[in-house]
Chains A and B, each alone.
Chain A
Amino acid sequence: MKESQPPVIETRGLTKTYKGVQALKSLDLQVQQNSIFGFLGPNGAGKTTTIKLLLGLIRSTAGSATVFGMDSVNQSVDIRARIGYLPQEPHFYEYMTARQTLRFTARFFFKGPEKAIEARVEEMLHLVDLAEKADRPLKTFSGGERQRLGIAQAQVNYPDLLILDEPAASLDPIGRRDVLEVMSRLRKYTTVFYSTHILDDVQRVSDTVVILNKGAVVAQGPIEELLAGSEGIIYLIHMNGDADSALKLVQSQPWVSGIKTGNHGGETTWQVSVTDPLAAEAHLLKLLVNGPVMVTEFRRKQYNLEDIFMQVIEGGQNVRE
Protein backbone atom coordinates (compact mmCIF):
# COMPACT_ATOMS: atom_id res chain seq x y z
CA MET A 1 0.00 0.00 0.00
CA LYS A 2 1.14 3.48 -0.83
CA GLU A 3 0.21 5.39 2.31
CA SER A 4 1.72 8.62 0.96
CA GLN A 5 -0.95 8.90 -1.73
CA PRO A 6 -4.14 10.71 -0.76
CA PRO A 7 -6.85 8.28 0.34
CA VAL A 8 -9.49 7.32 -2.18
CA ILE A 9 -12.19 7.47 0.50
CA GLU A 10 -11.99 9.59 3.61
CA THR A 11 -14.77 10.12 6.12
CA ARG A 12 -14.70 12.37 9.16
CA GLY A 13 -17.28 12.00 11.87
CA LEU A 14 -19.77 10.66 9.34
CA THR A 15 -23.07 10.22 11.11
CA LYS A 16 -26.51 9.19 9.94
CA THR A 17 -29.64 9.23 12.06
CA TYR A 18 -32.98 7.78 10.94
CA LYS A 19 -35.92 9.00 13.02
CA GLY A 20 -33.84 9.39 16.15
CA VAL A 21 -31.91 6.13 15.70
CA GLN A 22 -28.21 6.47 14.94
CA ALA A 23 -27.45 4.13 12.04
CA LEU A 24 -23.90 5.42 11.79
CA LYS A 25 -21.95 7.00 14.62
CA SER A 26 -19.14 9.37 13.73
CA LEU A 27 -17.35 7.14 11.26
CA ASP A 28 -13.71 7.96 10.55
CA LEU A 29 -12.37 5.98 7.65
CA GLN A 30 -9.50 6.09 5.22
CA VAL A 31 -9.29 3.82 2.22
CA GLN A 32 -5.97 3.81 0.43
CA GLN A 33 -5.52 3.52 -3.31
CA ASN A 34 -5.37 0.02 -4.83
CA SER A 35 -6.36 -1.65 -1.61
CA ILE A 36 -9.04 -4.25 -1.14
CA PHE A 37 -10.89 -2.84 1.81
CA GLY A 38 -13.19 -5.21 3.66
CA PHE A 39 -16.10 -3.60 5.45
CA LEU A 40 -17.37 -6.11 7.98
CA GLY A 41 -20.25 -6.17 10.38
CA PRO A 42 -23.41 -7.96 11.35
CA ASN A 43 -26.73 -7.07 9.73
CA GLY A 44 -27.80 -3.56 10.66
CA ALA A 45 -24.26 -2.48 11.54
CA GLY A 46 -24.37 0.48 9.13
CA LYS A 47 -22.43 -0.93 6.18
CA THR A 48 -25.03 -0.19 3.49
CA THR A 49 -25.76 3.20 5.06
CA THR A 50 -22.07 4.11 4.72
CA ILE A 51 -22.02 3.01 1.08
CA LYS A 52 -25.16 4.98 0.28
CA LEU A 53 -23.66 8.06 1.91
CA LEU A 54 -20.53 7.70 -0.20
CA LEU A 55 -22.66 7.44 -3.35
CA GLY A 56 -24.78 10.45 -2.44
CA LEU A 57 -27.97 8.36 -2.35
CA ILE A 58 -28.68 9.55 1.19
CA ARG A 59 -27.53 12.58 3.17
CA SER A 60 -25.47 12.54 6.31
CA THR A 61 -26.78 13.98 9.55
CA ALA A 62 -23.29 15.14 10.53
CA GLY A 63 -19.71 14.81 9.36
CA SER A 64 -18.34 14.64 5.85
CA ALA A 65 -17.06 12.22 3.27
CA THR A 66 -14.76 12.71 0.34
CA VAL A 67 -14.12 10.32 -2.52
CA PHE A 68 -11.11 11.06 -4.77
CA GLY A 69 -10.87 14.27 -2.77
CA MET A 70 -14.35 15.35 -3.91
CA ASP A 71 -17.23 16.11 -1.55
CA SER A 72 -19.78 13.30 -1.54
CA VAL A 73 -22.72 15.70 -1.41
CA ASN A 74 -21.80 18.53 -3.75
CA GLN A 75 -19.74 16.56 -6.27
CA SER A 76 -21.67 13.34 -6.15
CA VAL A 77 -22.20 12.98 -9.90
CA ASP A 78 -18.50 13.52 -10.62
CA ILE A 79 -17.63 10.92 -8.01
CA ARG A 80 -20.07 8.43 -9.48
CA ALA A 81 -18.47 8.89 -12.90
CA ARG A 82 -15.38 7.15 -11.47
CA ILE A 83 -17.14 4.50 -9.43
CA GLY A 84 -18.62 1.08 -10.10
CA TYR A 85 -21.29 0.00 -7.62
CA LEU A 86 -22.96 -3.30 -6.93
CA PRO A 87 -25.99 -2.96 -4.63
CA GLN A 88 -26.69 -5.53 -1.95
CA GLU A 89 -29.74 -6.78 -3.83
CA PRO A 90 -29.26 -5.75 -7.44
CA HIS A 91 -32.49 -4.55 -9.06
CA PHE A 92 -32.51 -3.91 -12.78
CA TYR A 93 -35.23 -3.17 -15.30
CA GLU A 94 -36.98 -6.49 -15.80
CA TYR A 95 -37.93 -5.80 -19.40
CA MET A 96 -34.26 -5.49 -20.38
CA THR A 97 -31.88 -8.28 -21.27
CA ALA A 98 -28.43 -8.57 -19.71
CA ARG A 99 -26.91 -7.04 -22.82
CA GLN A 100 -29.33 -4.11 -22.78
CA THR A 101 -28.65 -3.55 -19.08
CA LEU A 102 -24.91 -3.35 -19.67
CA ARG A 103 -25.40 -1.14 -22.71
CA PHE A 104 -27.67 1.17 -20.68
CA THR A 105 -25.09 1.31 -17.88
CA ALA A 106 -22.21 1.94 -20.29
CA ARG A 107 -24.01 4.91 -21.84
CA PHE A 108 -23.90 6.80 -18.56
CA PHE A 109 -20.14 6.92 -19.08
CA PHE A 110 -19.52 6.64 -22.82
CA LYS A 111 -21.09 8.49 -25.74
CA GLY A 112 -19.49 6.20 -28.27
CA PRO A 113 -18.25 4.86 -30.51
CA GLU A 114 -20.90 2.16 -30.80
CA LYS A 115 -18.35 -0.51 -31.69
CA ALA A 116 -16.28 0.15 -28.59
CA ILE A 117 -19.38 0.13 -26.35
CA GLU A 118 -20.53 -3.19 -27.82
CA ALA A 119 -17.03 -4.63 -27.36
CA ARG A 120 -17.00 -3.55 -23.70
CA VAL A 121 -20.44 -5.03 -23.14
CA GLU A 122 -19.31 -8.30 -24.69
CA GLU A 123 -16.16 -8.30 -22.55
CA MET A 124 -18.22 -7.86 -19.38
CA LEU A 125 -20.65 -10.60 -20.36
CA HIS A 126 -17.74 -13.00 -20.78
CA LEU A 127 -16.11 -11.84 -17.54
CA VAL A 128 -19.12 -13.01 -15.54
CA ASP A 129 -19.94 -15.96 -17.81
CA LEU A 130 -23.27 -14.59 -18.99
CA ALA A 131 -22.51 -14.43 -22.73
CA GLU A 132 -24.86 -17.28 -23.55
CA LYS A 133 -27.71 -15.70 -21.59
CA ALA A 134 -27.04 -12.17 -22.78
CA ASP A 135 -30.26 -11.80 -24.74
CA ARG A 136 -32.65 -13.37 -22.27
CA PRO A 137 -34.97 -11.03 -20.36
CA LEU A 138 -33.84 -10.46 -16.79
CA LYS A 139 -37.12 -11.72 -15.36
CA THR A 140 -35.88 -15.23 -16.21
CA PHE A 141 -32.57 -14.78 -14.34
CA SER A 142 -31.76 -16.58 -11.09
CA GLY A 143 -30.43 -14.74 -8.03
CA GLY A 144 -26.87 -15.82 -8.81
CA GLU A 145 -27.15 -14.68 -12.43
CA ARG A 146 -28.44 -11.30 -11.33
CA GLN A 147 -25.53 -11.00 -8.93
CA ARG A 148 -23.09 -11.77 -11.71
CA LEU A 149 -24.77 -9.21 -13.95
CA GLY A 150 -24.46 -6.78 -11.05
CA ILE A 151 -20.75 -7.39 -10.89
CA ALA A 152 -20.46 -6.90 -14.65
CA GLN A 153 -22.37 -3.60 -14.69
CA ALA A 154 -20.26 -2.32 -11.80
CA GLN A 155 -17.13 -2.78 -13.89
CA VAL A 156 -18.36 -1.64 -17.28
CA ASN A 157 -16.61 1.74 -16.97
CA TYR A 158 -13.34 0.29 -15.58
CA PRO A 159 -13.90 2.27 -12.39
CA ASP A 160 -11.17 3.76 -10.24
CA LEU A 161 -13.16 2.62 -7.23
CA LEU A 162 -15.36 -0.44 -7.07
CA ILE A 163 -17.92 -0.44 -4.27
CA LEU A 164 -19.50 -3.84 -3.71
CA ASP A 165 -22.23 -4.35 -1.14
CA GLU A 166 -22.23 -8.04 -0.19
CA PRO A 167 -20.91 -9.18 -3.59
CA ALA A 168 -20.84 -12.89 -2.83
CA ALA A 169 -23.97 -13.14 -0.70
CA SER A 170 -26.18 -14.99 -3.16
CA LEU A 171 -23.51 -16.91 -5.04
CA ASP A 172 -22.66 -20.59 -4.87
CA PRO A 173 -19.10 -21.55 -3.80
CA ILE A 174 -17.81 -21.48 -7.39
CA GLY A 175 -19.42 -18.13 -8.04
CA ARG A 176 -17.92 -16.82 -4.79
CA ARG A 177 -14.49 -18.03 -5.75
CA ASP A 178 -14.82 -16.36 -9.16
CA VAL A 179 -15.84 -13.04 -7.57
CA LEU A 180 -12.88 -13.14 -5.21
CA GLU A 181 -10.56 -13.88 -8.12
CA VAL A 182 -11.95 -10.95 -10.08
CA MET A 183 -11.45 -8.69 -7.05
CA SER A 184 -7.86 -9.84 -6.60
CA ARG A 185 -7.16 -9.33 -10.30
CA LEU A 186 -8.61 -5.82 -10.23
CA ARG A 187 -6.38 -4.69 -7.37
CA LYS A 188 -3.76 -3.60 -9.93
CA TYR A 189 -6.17 -1.20 -11.59
CA THR A 190 -8.65 -0.13 -8.99
CA THR A 191 -9.51 0.20 -5.34
CA VAL A 192 -12.10 -2.24 -4.05
CA PHE A 193 -14.31 -1.29 -1.11
CA TYR A 194 -16.68 -4.07 -0.23
CA SER A 195 -19.00 -5.00 2.56
CA THR A 196 -19.60 -8.56 3.60
CA HIS A 197 -20.38 -10.82 6.47
CA ILE A 198 -18.50 -13.78 4.91
CA LEU A 199 -15.38 -13.64 7.06
CA ASP A 200 -13.50 -16.25 5.10
CA ASP A 201 -13.70 -14.11 1.95
CA VAL A 202 -12.32 -11.10 3.77
CA GLN A 203 -9.41 -13.06 5.15
CA ARG A 204 -8.60 -14.38 1.68
CA VAL A 205 -8.53 -11.16 -0.33
CA SER A 206 -8.58 -8.03 1.86
CA ASP A 207 -5.57 -6.08 2.91
CA THR A 208 -7.40 -3.72 5.24
CA VAL A 209 -10.46 -4.38 7.35
CA VAL A 210 -12.94 -2.33 9.30
CA ILE A 211 -15.41 -4.02 11.60
CA LEU A 212 -18.55 -2.08 12.25
CA ASN A 213 -21.09 -2.82 14.98
CA LYS A 214 -24.24 -0.86 15.79
CA GLY A 215 -23.06 2.00 13.61
CA ALA A 216 -19.63 2.36 15.20
CA VAL A 217 -16.17 1.14 14.23
CA VAL A 218 -15.03 -1.52 16.67
CA ALA A 219 -11.89 -2.70 14.89
CA GLN A 220 -9.83 -1.29 12.09
CA GLY A 221 -6.47 -1.99 10.54
CA PRO A 222 -4.40 -4.03 8.11
CA ILE A 223 -5.61 -7.61 8.08
CA GLU A 224 -2.32 -9.07 9.33
CA GLU A 225 -2.33 -6.76 12.33
CA LEU A 226 -5.89 -7.69 13.19
CA LEU A 227 -5.10 -11.37 12.80
CA ALA A 228 -2.19 -10.98 15.21
CA GLY A 229 -4.89 -10.46 17.81
CA SER A 230 -5.46 -7.87 20.44
CA GLU A 231 -4.33 -10.17 23.22
CA GLY A 232 -0.72 -10.02 22.01
CA ILE A 233 1.50 -12.98 21.20
CA ILE A 234 0.54 -16.16 22.97
CA TYR A 235 2.10 -19.62 22.94
CA LEU A 236 -0.08 -22.65 23.65
CA ILE A 237 1.69 -25.48 25.50
CA HIS A 238 0.43 -28.90 26.59
CA MET A 239 2.61 -30.96 28.98
CA ASN A 240 2.82 -33.79 31.45
CA GLY A 241 4.99 -33.89 34.62
CA ASP A 242 5.93 -31.36 37.32
CA ALA A 243 4.39 -28.26 35.81
CA ASP A 244 4.66 -26.18 39.00
CA SER A 245 8.42 -26.02 39.06
CA ALA A 246 8.51 -25.38 35.30
CA LEU A 247 6.01 -22.56 35.82
CA LYS A 248 8.34 -20.71 38.25
CA LEU A 249 11.18 -21.05 35.76
CA VAL A 250 9.21 -19.71 32.83
CA GLN A 251 7.60 -16.90 34.85
CA SER A 252 11.04 -15.62 35.77
CA GLN A 253 11.95 -14.90 32.14
CA PRO A 254 11.90 -11.16 31.37
CA TRP A 255 10.02 -11.63 28.06
CA VAL A 256 7.12 -13.51 29.67
CA SER A 257 4.25 -11.20 30.55
CA GLY A 258 1.76 -13.72 31.88
CA ILE A 259 0.75 -17.37 32.02
CA LYS A 260 -2.77 -18.78 32.13
CA THR A 261 -2.84 -22.36 33.32
CA GLY A 262 -5.46 -25.03 32.84
CA ASN A 263 -6.05 -28.72 32.42
CA HIS A 264 -7.13 -30.60 29.36
CA GLY A 265 -7.52 -34.39 29.17
CA GLY A 266 -5.20 -34.97 32.11
CA GLU A 267 -2.55 -32.70 30.67
CA THR A 268 -1.50 -29.33 31.99
CA THR A 269 -2.13 -26.51 29.51
CA TRP A 270 -0.51 -23.09 29.48
CA GLN A 271 -1.17 -19.95 27.53
CA VAL A 272 2.06 -18.01 27.75
CA SER A 273 1.88 -14.34 26.81
CA VAL A 274 5.22 -12.95 25.66
CA THR A 275 6.56 -9.52 24.86
CA ASP A 276 9.45 -10.64 22.67
CA PRO A 277 8.48 -13.31 20.12
CA LEU A 278 12.09 -13.87 19.00
CA ALA A 279 13.27 -14.65 22.52
CA ALA A 280 10.27 -16.88 23.07
CA GLU A 281 10.91 -18.78 19.84
CA ALA A 282 14.54 -19.27 20.85
CA HIS A 283 14.19 -20.20 24.54
CA LEU A 284 10.70 -21.16 25.64
CA LEU A 285 10.59 -24.72 24.35
CA LYS A 286 14.23 -25.34 25.43
CA LEU A 287 13.45 -24.27 29.00
CA LEU A 288 10.66 -26.80 29.16
CA VAL A 289 12.25 -29.81 27.48
CA ASN A 290 15.36 -29.40 29.66
CA GLY A 291 13.13 -29.27 32.75
CA PRO A 292 10.89 -31.71 34.63
CA VAL A 293 8.04 -31.84 32.08
CA MET A 294 7.29 -33.65 28.85
CA VAL A 295 5.88 -31.26 26.25
CA THR A 296 3.19 -32.85 24.05
CA GLU A 297 2.13 -29.73 22.13
CA PHE A 298 3.79 -26.39 21.51
CA ARG A 299 2.54 -23.75 19.11
CA ARG A 300 1.98 -20.05 18.69
CA LYS A 301 -1.68 -19.14 18.93
CA GLN A 302 -3.11 -18.20 15.50
CA TYR A 303 -6.21 -16.04 15.20
CA ASN A 304 -8.59 -16.09 12.33
CA LEU A 305 -10.90 -13.28 11.41
CA GLU A 306 -13.85 -15.07 12.93
CA ASP A 307 -12.12 -15.04 16.34
CA ILE A 308 -11.45 -11.32 16.03
CA PHE A 309 -14.96 -10.65 14.73
CA MET A 310 -16.66 -12.55 17.53
CA GLN A 311 -14.33 -10.98 20.09
CA VAL A 312 -15.14 -7.42 19.05
CA ILE A 313 -18.82 -7.92 18.28
CA GLU A 314 -19.72 -9.99 21.32
CA GLY A 315 -17.16 -8.51 23.67
CA GLY A 316 -17.88 -4.92 22.69
CA GLN A 317 -14.13 -4.47 22.48
CA ASN A 318 -12.50 -1.79 20.39
CA VAL A 319 -9.43 -2.69 18.38
CA ARG A 320 -8.01 0.23 16.47
CA GLU A 321 -4.63 0.02 14.84
Chain B
Amino acid sequence: MSGNSDFVMVNERGWRRGFNNLLDNEFARWWRTRMWWVQTLIWVGMIGFMLGALLFSTPDFKIEDGVMIYAVFAGMFPAVAVVIIMQGVLVGEKKDGTAAWVLSKPAARPAFILSKMVANSLGVLVTMVVLPGIVAYVLFFIRIKAGMDPLLFMAGLGVFFLNHLFYLTLTLMLGSFFNGRGPVIGISLAFLFMQQYLIGLLPVLRYVLPWTLVVPLNNQSEVVVPALLSGQPIYSYIPIMAVLVECVLFVLISLWRFKREEL
Protein backbone atom coordinates (compact mmCIF):
# COMPACT_ATOMS: atom_id res chain seq x y z
CA MET B 1 0.00 0.00 0.00
CA SER B 2 1.54 3.23 -1.16
CA GLY B 3 -0.78 5.64 0.67
CA ASN B 4 -2.90 8.42 -0.75
CA SER B 5 -0.19 10.94 -1.54
CA ASP B 6 -0.86 10.69 -5.31
CA PHE B 7 -4.38 11.99 -4.90
CA VAL B 8 -6.03 15.38 -4.62
CA MET B 9 -8.32 14.84 -1.66
CA VAL B 10 -11.92 16.03 -1.56
CA ASN B 11 -12.04 19.09 0.66
CA GLU B 12 -15.67 20.19 0.52
CA ARG B 13 -17.08 21.00 3.94
CA GLY B 14 -20.51 21.06 5.52
CA TRP B 15 -23.60 20.27 3.46
CA ARG B 16 -21.64 20.22 0.19
CA ARG B 17 -19.52 17.25 1.23
CA GLY B 18 -20.03 14.54 -1.41
CA PHE B 19 -22.52 16.66 -3.38
CA ASN B 20 -20.63 16.69 -6.69
CA ASN B 21 -20.13 12.93 -6.67
CA LEU B 22 -23.74 12.28 -5.70
CA LEU B 23 -25.01 14.71 -8.33
CA ASP B 24 -22.91 13.01 -11.03
CA ASN B 25 -24.41 9.72 -9.96
CA GLU B 26 -27.96 11.05 -10.07
CA PHE B 27 -27.37 12.62 -13.48
CA ALA B 28 -26.02 9.28 -14.65
CA ARG B 29 -29.30 7.63 -13.69
CA TRP B 30 -31.12 10.00 -16.02
CA TRP B 31 -28.68 10.51 -18.85
CA ARG B 32 -26.60 7.34 -18.97
CA THR B 33 -29.53 4.96 -18.84
CA ARG B 34 -32.58 4.66 -21.08
CA MET B 35 -34.54 6.85 -18.65
CA TRP B 36 -34.05 10.07 -20.59
CA TRP B 37 -35.11 8.81 -23.98
CA VAL B 38 -38.01 6.76 -22.62
CA GLN B 39 -39.37 9.83 -20.85
CA THR B 40 -38.71 12.02 -23.86
CA LEU B 41 -40.45 9.57 -26.16
CA ILE B 42 -43.47 9.34 -23.87
CA TRP B 43 -44.00 13.06 -23.43
CA VAL B 44 -43.00 14.30 -26.86
CA GLY B 45 -45.06 11.51 -28.38
CA MET B 46 -48.09 11.96 -26.19
CA ILE B 47 -48.27 15.76 -26.19
CA GLY B 48 -47.25 15.99 -29.86
CA PHE B 49 -49.82 13.41 -30.95
CA MET B 50 -52.63 14.81 -28.87
CA LEU B 51 -51.98 18.42 -29.84
CA GLY B 52 -51.31 17.55 -33.48
CA ALA B 53 -54.55 15.61 -33.70
CA LEU B 54 -56.47 18.49 -32.16
CA LEU B 55 -54.86 21.24 -34.23
CA PHE B 56 -54.92 19.55 -37.60
CA SER B 57 -58.10 17.52 -37.53
CA THR B 58 -60.56 20.09 -36.20
CA PRO B 59 -61.64 22.51 -38.90
CA ASP B 60 -63.33 25.05 -36.58
CA PHE B 61 -60.50 24.94 -34.11
CA LYS B 62 -59.91 27.93 -31.79
CA ILE B 63 -56.40 28.72 -30.64
CA GLU B 64 -57.63 29.26 -27.07
CA ASP B 65 -59.01 25.72 -26.95
CA GLY B 66 -55.71 24.32 -28.21
CA VAL B 67 -53.75 26.23 -25.62
CA MET B 68 -56.12 25.16 -22.85
CA ILE B 69 -55.94 21.48 -23.78
CA TYR B 70 -52.17 21.66 -24.12
CA ALA B 71 -51.93 23.21 -20.66
CA VAL B 72 -54.05 20.51 -19.07
CA PHE B 73 -52.25 17.62 -20.80
CA ALA B 74 -48.74 18.98 -20.32
CA GLY B 75 -49.52 20.04 -16.77
CA MET B 76 -51.43 17.09 -15.34
CA PHE B 77 -50.05 13.92 -16.90
CA PRO B 78 -46.35 14.66 -16.40
CA ALA B 79 -47.18 15.61 -12.79
CA VAL B 80 -48.48 12.07 -12.26
CA ALA B 81 -45.29 10.72 -13.85
CA VAL B 82 -43.18 12.91 -11.56
CA VAL B 83 -44.90 11.39 -8.53
CA ILE B 84 -44.37 7.87 -9.87
CA ILE B 85 -40.69 8.51 -10.58
CA MET B 86 -40.02 10.28 -7.29
CA GLN B 87 -41.92 7.92 -4.96
CA GLY B 88 -39.04 5.43 -4.91
CA VAL B 89 -36.16 7.88 -4.99
CA LEU B 90 -35.77 8.10 -1.22
CA VAL B 91 -37.90 5.22 0.01
CA GLY B 92 -36.25 2.76 -2.38
CA GLU B 93 -32.78 3.67 -1.20
CA LYS B 94 -33.81 3.55 2.45
CA LYS B 95 -35.38 0.14 2.01
CA ASP B 96 -32.68 -1.55 -0.06
CA GLY B 97 -29.82 -0.20 2.04
CA THR B 98 -28.05 1.89 -0.60
CA ALA B 99 -28.76 5.09 1.36
CA ALA B 100 -26.99 3.61 4.39
CA TRP B 101 -24.11 2.47 2.21
CA VAL B 102 -23.69 5.89 0.54
CA LEU B 103 -23.98 7.71 3.86
CA SER B 104 -21.31 5.49 5.40
CA LYS B 105 -18.97 7.40 3.05
CA PRO B 106 -18.00 11.01 3.68
CA ALA B 107 -21.20 12.42 2.25
CA ALA B 108 -23.46 14.91 4.03
CA ARG B 109 -27.14 14.09 4.30
CA PRO B 110 -28.23 17.43 2.77
CA ALA B 111 -26.00 16.62 -0.21
CA PHE B 112 -27.80 13.30 -0.60
CA ILE B 113 -31.24 14.96 -0.68
CA LEU B 114 -30.24 17.96 -2.78
CA SER B 115 -28.47 15.86 -5.41
CA LYS B 116 -31.68 13.92 -5.94
CA MET B 117 -33.75 17.08 -6.08
CA VAL B 118 -31.48 18.85 -8.55
CA ALA B 119 -30.86 15.91 -10.90
CA ASN B 120 -34.49 14.84 -11.05
CA SER B 121 -35.64 18.43 -11.53
CA LEU B 122 -33.34 18.79 -14.51
CA GLY B 123 -34.48 15.46 -15.94
CA VAL B 124 -38.11 16.51 -15.59
CA LEU B 125 -37.41 19.96 -17.03
CA VAL B 126 -35.76 18.61 -20.17
CA THR B 127 -37.84 15.51 -20.91
CA MET B 128 -41.28 16.61 -19.67
CA VAL B 129 -41.26 20.35 -20.23
CA VAL B 130 -38.68 21.67 -22.71
CA LEU B 131 -38.62 18.98 -25.42
CA PRO B 132 -42.42 18.48 -25.56
CA GLY B 133 -42.70 22.29 -25.32
CA ILE B 134 -40.57 22.75 -28.44
CA VAL B 135 -42.75 20.26 -30.31
CA ALA B 136 -45.89 22.08 -29.13
CA TYR B 137 -44.47 25.43 -30.18
CA VAL B 138 -43.67 24.11 -33.64
CA LEU B 139 -47.18 22.62 -34.00
CA PHE B 140 -48.84 25.90 -32.94
CA PHE B 141 -46.54 27.78 -35.30
CA ILE B 142 -47.51 25.58 -38.26
CA ARG B 143 -51.23 25.69 -37.46
CA ILE B 144 -51.70 29.40 -36.83
CA LYS B 145 -49.07 30.48 -39.37
CA ALA B 146 -47.53 32.84 -36.89
CA GLY B 147 -45.40 32.13 -33.88
CA MET B 148 -46.60 32.70 -30.34
CA ASP B 149 -44.45 35.15 -28.42
CA PRO B 150 -41.39 32.97 -27.63
CA LEU B 151 -40.73 34.75 -24.36
CA LEU B 152 -44.27 34.24 -23.15
CA PHE B 153 -44.14 30.64 -24.35
CA MET B 154 -40.94 30.12 -22.36
CA ALA B 155 -42.56 31.71 -19.34
CA GLY B 156 -45.44 29.25 -19.77
CA LEU B 157 -42.95 26.37 -19.83
CA GLY B 158 -41.43 27.82 -16.67
CA VAL B 159 -44.79 27.61 -14.93
CA PHE B 160 -45.25 24.03 -16.14
CA PHE B 161 -41.90 23.26 -14.55
CA LEU B 162 -42.92 24.97 -11.32
CA ASN B 163 -46.06 22.84 -11.27
CA HIS B 164 -44.00 19.65 -11.71
CA LEU B 165 -41.45 20.86 -9.17
CA PHE B 166 -44.23 21.14 -6.61
CA TYR B 167 -45.08 17.43 -6.95
CA LEU B 168 -41.41 16.50 -7.14
CA THR B 169 -40.53 18.22 -3.87
CA LEU B 170 -43.79 17.09 -2.22
CA THR B 171 -43.01 13.44 -3.06
CA LEU B 172 -39.40 13.87 -1.95
CA MET B 173 -40.59 15.28 1.37
CA LEU B 174 -43.07 12.45 1.91
CA GLY B 175 -40.27 9.98 1.09
CA SER B 176 -38.26 11.43 3.95
CA PHE B 177 -41.12 10.69 6.37
CA PHE B 178 -42.25 7.24 5.25
CA ASN B 179 -40.46 3.96 4.72
CA GLY B 180 -43.02 2.47 2.36
CA ARG B 181 -43.88 3.53 -1.19
CA GLY B 182 -47.63 3.23 -0.61
CA PRO B 183 -48.16 6.29 1.57
CA VAL B 184 -45.78 8.38 -0.54
CA ILE B 185 -47.48 7.76 -3.86
CA GLY B 186 -50.95 7.58 -2.29
CA ILE B 187 -50.77 10.92 -0.53
CA SER B 188 -49.11 12.65 -3.49
CA LEU B 189 -51.67 11.44 -6.04
CA ALA B 190 -54.59 11.99 -3.68
CA PHE B 191 -53.40 15.54 -3.20
CA LEU B 192 -53.00 16.02 -6.94
CA PHE B 193 -56.54 14.94 -7.74
CA MET B 194 -58.29 16.39 -4.68
CA GLN B 195 -57.27 19.98 -5.24
CA GLN B 196 -60.29 20.84 -7.35
CA TYR B 197 -62.55 19.54 -4.56
CA LEU B 198 -60.57 21.42 -1.90
CA ILE B 199 -60.74 24.65 -3.87
CA GLY B 200 -64.48 24.11 -4.22
CA LEU B 201 -64.74 23.90 -0.44
CA LEU B 202 -62.43 26.82 0.23
CA PRO B 203 -62.00 29.03 -2.88
CA VAL B 204 -59.09 30.99 -1.45
CA LEU B 205 -56.99 27.84 -1.83
CA ARG B 206 -56.74 28.55 -5.56
CA TYR B 207 -54.08 31.07 -4.67
CA VAL B 208 -51.88 28.62 -2.81
CA LEU B 209 -52.36 25.29 -4.63
CA PRO B 210 -50.73 24.51 -7.98
CA TRP B 211 -54.02 23.46 -9.61
CA THR B 212 -54.78 26.81 -11.24
CA LEU B 213 -51.32 27.04 -12.71
CA VAL B 214 -52.38 24.59 -15.41
CA VAL B 215 -56.02 23.53 -14.98
CA PRO B 216 -58.91 25.99 -15.26
CA LEU B 217 -61.66 26.16 -12.66
CA ASN B 218 -65.22 27.03 -13.60
CA ASN B 219 -64.08 30.47 -14.60
CA GLN B 220 -61.74 29.64 -17.48
CA SER B 221 -59.82 32.86 -17.15
CA GLU B 222 -58.44 31.86 -13.75
CA VAL B 223 -55.59 29.69 -14.98
CA VAL B 224 -52.00 30.81 -15.42
CA VAL B 225 -50.32 28.89 -18.25
CA PRO B 226 -52.99 29.29 -20.97
CA ALA B 227 -53.11 33.00 -20.23
CA LEU B 228 -49.35 33.27 -20.58
CA LEU B 229 -49.24 31.27 -23.83
CA SER B 230 -52.03 33.31 -25.35
CA GLY B 231 -50.50 36.61 -24.31
CA GLN B 232 -53.42 37.38 -21.96
CA PRO B 233 -52.98 38.99 -18.52
CA ILE B 234 -52.63 36.52 -15.66
CA TYR B 235 -55.45 36.58 -13.10
CA SER B 236 -52.94 36.61 -10.22
CA TYR B 237 -49.23 36.11 -9.64
CA ILE B 238 -49.90 34.85 -6.13
CA PRO B 239 -50.23 31.14 -7.13
CA ILE B 240 -46.79 31.28 -8.79
CA MET B 241 -45.19 32.85 -5.74
CA ALA B 242 -47.04 30.57 -3.33
CA VAL B 243 -46.07 27.37 -5.15
CA LEU B 244 -42.46 28.52 -5.35
CA VAL B 245 -42.41 29.13 -1.59
CA GLU B 246 -44.05 25.74 -0.98
CA CYS B 247 -41.38 23.98 -3.07
CA VAL B 248 -38.66 25.61 -0.98
CA LEU B 249 -40.53 24.68 2.18
CA PHE B 250 -40.87 21.03 1.10
CA VAL B 251 -37.13 20.83 0.43
CA LEU B 252 -36.30 22.37 3.80
CA ILE B 253 -38.62 19.94 5.58
CA SER B 254 -37.03 17.02 3.66
CA LEU B 255 -33.57 18.16 4.79
CA TRP B 256 -34.71 18.53 8.39
CA ARG B 257 -36.43 15.15 8.45
CA PHE B 258 -33.71 13.20 6.66
CA LYS B 259 -31.11 14.52 9.07
CA ARG B 260 -32.97 12.57 11.78
CA GLU B 261 -33.48 9.46 9.70
CA GLU B 262 -32.09 6.25 11.21
CA LEU B 263 -30.57 4.21 8.40
Residues of chain A touching chain B, judged by Cβ–Cβ distance below 8 Å, are: 52, 55-59, 77-78, 80-81, 83, 85, 87, 89-93, 95, 104-105, 107-113, 116-117, 120, 157-158, 189
Contacts and interface: CB of A to CB of B under 8 A. Distances in A.
Interface in B6-61: 6-11, 17-18, 20-21, 24-25, 29, 33
Interface in B98-121: 98, 100-101, 103-108
B10 A108 contact: yes
Contacts of A104: 21, 25
Given A77-B106, A77-B108, A110 B4 contact: yes
Contact of B104 (A85, A95, A109, A111): A85
Contacts of B7: 109-113, 116-117, 120
Q: Is the interface of B mostly helix, strand, loop or mixed?
A: loop
Contact of B21 (A90, A93, A107): A107
A90 B4 contact: no
A108 B97 contact: no
A113 B98 contact: no
Given A58-B263, A77-B106, A158 B4 contact: yes
Interface of B: 1, 3-4, 6-11, 17-18, 20-21, 24-25, 29, 33, 96-98, 100-101, 103-108, 260, 262-263
B21 to A, nearest CB: 4
B181 to A, nearest CB: 17
B257 to A, nearest CB: 14
A111 B107 contact: no
B8 A110 contact: yes
Nearest to B33: A95
Nearest to B105: A108
Given A52-B263, A110-B10, A157-B4, 7 more contacts: A85-B105, A87-B100, A89-B97, A91-B96, A91-B97, A95-B33, A112-B7
5 tightest A-B CB contacts, nearest first: A91-B97, A81-B106, A108-B105, A110-B7, A107-B21
B160 to A, nearest CB: 29
Residue in A59, A77, A111 with the greatest tally of chain B CB atoms within 10 Å: A77
Nearest to B6: A116
B104 A80 contact: yes
B262 A57 contact: yes
19 contacts: A52-B100, A52-B263, A57-B262, A78-B106, A87-B101, A91-B96, A91-B98, A91-B101, A95-B33, A104-B21, A107-B20, A109-B10, A110-B7, A110-B10, A111-B9, A112-B7, A112-B8, A113-B8, A158-B1
